Amino acid sequence: HAALLHDGLARHGLLDHEPLLLRHARQALRWRTTEPDAPPVLGGTRFGGAPDLPPGQPYPTTDGKPWHFYAQLDLDAIAGLQSWLPRTGRLYFFAESQDPSDGVRVLHDTSPRASLAPPTWGPEVDSVDDIDVSRAYKGYRAVVDATVSLPILYNGHDRYTGEDAGLMEIHGDDALSDTYAELADELAFSPDNQHGVHLQNAFVFTQHESPEEQSVALQRGSPGEWVVLLRLGSDQHPGFEFWDAGTLTFTIHRKDLALGDFSRVLGFIES
């Protein structure tokens, strides 16, 4: 990751800021959807579609209406790319609706792959926000690689002060700011990507407070104690569209993540 960051800074003429960025940049994962998951790979990574749930695990519902399912991540397949998530099993990501006041849920399961099965729905079953489940998001496979996520400097004057204030010098210089944005996009996205990119342990652009800062306001700790489990972007492949081309972010406290407790995950939509 340090080499990836160094090469990017060298290409964009930003090496003077390498010490600060080494301290603040994050090791991240970048997911890009590729082709329909048809037939579905049992227990494999999937964005959209339906989850492969273990025996006895109910699908999240409210008053009998299903929540939205967004992603199933095969943790065994990415164990060598990251150090902050469980090493085995799967993570499942759900949200009640696209209303920020509604809930999200993340499940972690390590059941044998052969025991998993997708949920079965009757005809014309509507989700919480009255979308026909049979016409929900299409399931897509995805590729993943390790990348570096650069700090979001927009509205960052209160975040980067003292010895970190040099980062705001980038933001205050139009030419440097444009160059920095090019590098950040290069690391977060890819030139050949025509669809959505989904990130883990990454910084998330917001108009005001970051998801980590919003998490502190709702629960506890400091922003640095919160982890972005997954940042979903609008994606034409499965059909994700969060408000007008926004993002849906799931966060978890580091202590909960270390304990494997996903019961207090929070969700935030930004447009």
Given a cut of 70, is residue 106 above it in pLDDT?
A: yes
What is the structure's pLDDT at 133? 66
What is the structure's pLDDT at 63? 87
First to last CA, the chain: 29
Token pair of 238, please? 């499965």
Mode of pairing for the β-strands spanning 61-62 and 65-66: antiparallel
Least confident range of 36-50, 141-155, 189-203:
189-203
Provide the percentage of residues in the chain whose pLDDT is more than 70.
Answer: 93
What is the structure's pLDDT at 23? 94
**126 versus 201: which is more confidently predicted?**
201
**229 versus 240: which is more confidently predicted?**
229
User: Pseudo-torsion of CA 133, 138, 140, 146, nearest 10°?
Assistant: -70
Q: How many other C-beta atoms can be found within 10 angstroms of the C-beta atom of residue 196?
A: 24
Average pLDDT over residues 232-243: 90
Q: Which of 106, 20, 33, 109 is nearest to 69 (CA)?
A: 106
Q: Mean pLDDT over all residues of the chain?
A: 91
What is the structure's pLDDT at 250? 97
